[in-house]
Amino acid sequence: MTSIEKVYIENFKSHKNYSLYLDKKYKHIVIYGKNGVGNTNLLDSLSFFSNAKGLRGSSLEEILPKDKEINSFTKIKIKIQSIDNVYDFSLKIIKEDNKLKKKILLGDKKISLADIKKHIKIIWLSPYMDKIMYEGQTLKRNFIDKMIIQNDNSFNKIIISNKKDIAERLHVLKNAKDEKWLDILEKKIANDFYDIFVIRRQYAEELNNIISSKLKNFREVKIQYKNTLFKDLINKKDELIDLFLNELKNKRELDEITKRTNFSINSDEIIILDKKNNINTDACSTGEQKSSLLSIILANCWKLKNSNKKFILLLDEATSHIDEPNFKKLFDEVDKFETQIWYTGTNKNLFQVIENKGFFIHLQ
């Protein structure tokens, strides 16, 4: 089992100095206490080893406690035990020349977040993520793309390369207007578009299959991608790459004027269908949207597990996504992942169903 065994926090939001030692025989870690005591902040500190802004989308300026002097620093250290390795990760945020700087280490060696994800992935579900289901396409696309990256690092490389080439194309359109170089760039961009569109749809199909086969006790949803420029990708690679290439060439003048790429991977629209009601989840109730989000997160965890990828799951205010009678279904499901799961809540009674299996930490 993959688990966090030790946590040390110094000057992270509400936690000025906090140490935690965990009994490794427990996979279910429950943090509870009244609102404002730092339940979510504890999980948030762990999430910074997976995402530059953590589960709450915080900037570096929001991390250091407000009452700390200018030369104070933030430090987070975690020890992770997996089946065959022990990892000592640390994150430090300091102020230099009145600017905040971040450094991440594995032991004494400086590493990146991408390096950490090669060893361990930290996945979470929090109330902050509820807006994914109703705030438009950009959030949905980014959310699904990040989950694809958790499963397929090559996808991240394509995305990064594509952003770089698009930025260079816009620069050439504005300045040099070198036709030969534009042709080369656009050919590469068109090929990347095709690969990205394919990977997205393959991932959606895999998650849909997991939801329908493994998550029968949860809300059944279906993820679909739509694009106004094409309907089908199967056996049409060369034809579609030519189509994307023509679209880029035809929009050169418009892209130069607007200073943006008007046909891009953002032309993909995501529809999350609630199969019970046969409607887009945008039109569902808040409770139904939360349940749909939970199904997608659990399906992604199953995909990671099936691929033998190591991860730890953080469920911030878990019962906000599922009513109390159904919490046992959630517990029974995540118990199958054979990894450590962290929960937060305001009251220990919310977690009675796992009372004998959980390691309980009361923050005051």
Whether 21 and 52 map to the same domain: the answer is yes
State the residue range of the domain holding 175. 137-272
Same domain, 252 and 333: no
Whether 303 maps to a domain, the answer reads no
Verify that 94 and 143 share a domain, yes or no: no
293 lies in some domain? no
Same domain, residue pair 265 and 338 = no
Do 19 and 57 share a domain, yes or no?
Answer: yes
Same domain for 61 and 27: yes
Structural domains counted in the chain? 2
Residue 286 lies in a domain: no
Q: What pLDDT is attached to residue 78?
A: 94
> 272, 298, 327: which is the final residue of a domain?
272
Q: Are residues 23 and 104 in the same domain?
A: yes
Pairing of strands 311-315, 341-345: parallel
Query: What CATH number is associated with residue 32?
Result: 3.40.50.300
CA distances from 149 to 49, 56, 310, 330, 357 (A): 15, 20, 14, 25, 32
Decide if 79 is inside a domain: yes
294, part of any domain: no
Of 249, 272, 295, the residue that ends a domain is 272
Do 115 and 141 fall into the same domain?
no
| Domain stop point among 272, 295, 322 | 272
Average pLDDT per consecutive 10 residues, the chain (364 residues; last block may be shorter): 92 90 87 89 92 86 69 86 88 82 90 88 90 90 94 92 96 88 96 97 97 94 95 89 96 94 95 92 90 94 93 88 79 91 89 85 90
Same domain for 14 and 113, yes or no, is yes
317 is a domain residue: yes
Q: Give residue 214's pLDDT.
A: 94
**Cα–Cα dist 95/83, whole Å:** 37
Decide if 126 is inside a domain: no
> Based on the domain organization, do 221 and 333 belong to the same domain?
no
Query: What's the confidence (pLDDT) of residue 222?
Result: 96
Claim to verify: residue 267 and residue 204 sit in the same structural domain: yes
Q: Is residue 173 part of a domain?
A: yes
Closest to 104 (Cα-Cα) out of 141, 142, 84, 74: 74
Backbone torsion region of residue 330, taken as left when φ is above 0, otherwise alpha when ψ lies between -120 and 50, otherwise beta: alpha
Q: What is the CATH number of the domain that holds 187?
A: 1.20.1050.90
pLDDT, position 71: 58
- Please check whether residues 260 and 142 belong to one and the same domain: yes
